[in-house]
Structures are given as structure tokens and as C-alpha cells.
A = this chain, B = another copy of it.
Amino acid sequence: MEKTISRYDDTILNRCNFFKGLSKHEITAVLKAARIVNIPSNSFFFHQGEEAISFYIVVSGQVRLSQINPEGRQVIVHIFGPGDAIGIIVALSNMTYPVSAEAMTDTQALGWDRDTIAYLMEECPRLAVNGLHLIAHRFMELQDRYRELATERVERRIARALLRQAQQRNGRIPHTNTRNISLSRQDLAEMTGTTLYTVSRTCSSWEQEGIVTAGRGYIEINNFHKLLVIAEDLPDSHQCHDPQTCYFCPPDFNCNTA
């Protein structure tokens, strides 16, 4: 087991904020307490309403966190990738899961149960601090998304969802084109509070303008700059001075030449 886990040391654990600041020794201890979980594509880590007994860190794959309303309309609250922590909030406070977590691809994760993680945090307060930071981060992101949903137009919301995905994957999924977002129209619709028809129409019109290339189950961003303008994350007049340090543009991308 030790051996299996240490495989991930470089690729995942060093980039995982939950382990930030821990010594090698501490990380080893925390990993020893973990179980390795393999969830095949389209299967669930847990369902909305179940008692929250486990906490996970994604090693590889993607996980969709979604909530469903009584009429069956679904909303994607978050999409997790390698290094992300799933269920940290509820696992730390004795509740039932308010959302479902479904693997979008075959997913490997590390799992701890509630008591274990509570014990580890007591032993290693740094872990608790990191957990709190993760929660704070997630909370602020959700708050932003809430405001977005309340105030912004659909096109902008879709643009932001795409950019957020690109940003999130940036450098975390090795050997992957971060500009190629593997999401269906339906997924994007559920992430942005709209319908798959509207997403499809929007992507079509973007495709005409050369901003993206859309295909079955993916959208590839061809022109970050234009997308950023639509998302209003970027002033209309923006030009990169130095793409390496530009706040707006992803590191491997120069929006001047796009």
C-alpha cells in the first residue's frame, strides 16, 4: 500500500493544498490512515441525503458534485479534479450529504472516515488549518457564483464556467491540454443555470467567431482573449505585456498572438 501511494507523491500530494506545510513524516502518517478508493465512471462516491461518513481527496479523474431539486432539475455545484477535497465540510460537522458526488471518469481517490480525519486533525493542527482554508476558498467561490447567477447574462456565465474549468485544470492534470474542456452541453447547462439548448446555441455562435471548437463532449478554447472579454474578466482593451505574469491569461498562452 505504501508503495502504491508513494507513486502519487510528486504528481498529486505536493500540489494538494490539504497537505501544504506538512512534513514528509506527517504526510506518510496521514496516507497510512487512508484507504484507496476506485470509483468507475458514472458511479457515485455518495448520494444526497446519505449520512456523511467519508472524506476524499481525488488522485485522478473528475467528480461532479450536484444537487437535485424535487422536480428532478439538477445543478452542478462543483467539479473536482486531482488534488481536490470532497466532503470536507460535511464530514467535519456530522451532517448528511446535501449533494451527490458522481465520478465523471474512472476516478481514484484517497478516503478517510469522519473519525479518522478528526483524529488526524487533532494530532496535526496544520491539517485543520488547511481544511479551513479549503472551505473558505470554496465558500467564496460559491458566493461569487451565486452573485453571477443572480446578476449576469447566460453567455457570460457560460464563458466564466469554461474559463474556470481551464484555470482549475491548469497544470494539475498532467499532459493534458488545459484548453480542451471535456464537458457535455448538459453539464455546462447545469453548471450555469441554463438549458442545454442555450449552451449549444451559444457555443455555435462562438464557433462561428472562432473563439472555440465544439465537439461531442468537449469544448476547446481557441481564443482565450475573446472569451475573457465576454466573461468581463478582462478589460476590452487588454493586451498582455508579459504573458508569463499576466493575471488574466493562462501561463501557456499569449493572448496577443491568439
Please give the residue numbers on chain A whose beta carbons come within 8 Å of chain B beta carbons, in ascending order.
Answer: 67, 69-71, 73, 75, 77, 89-90, 92-93, 95, 98-99, 128, 132-133, 135-140, 142-152, 190, 193, 232
Contact = CB atoms under 8 A, between A and B. Distances in A.
Nearest to A69: B151
A142 B99 CA distance: 12
Given A69-B151, A93-B133, A133-B93, A98 B144 contact: yes
Nearest to A135: B135
Contacts of A73: 150-151
A67 B145 CA distance: 11
Given A89-B136, A152-B69, A147 B77 contact: yes
A132 to B, nearest CB: 6
B151 A149 contact: no
What is the total number of copies of this protein in its complex?
2
A77 B146 contact: yes
Nearest to A72: B151
Contact of A93 (B69, B136, B146): B136
A188 to B, nearest CB: 13
Contact of A151 (B132, B193, B232): B193
Contacts of A67: 143-144, 147
Contacts of A89: 135-136, 139-140
A132 B70 contact: no
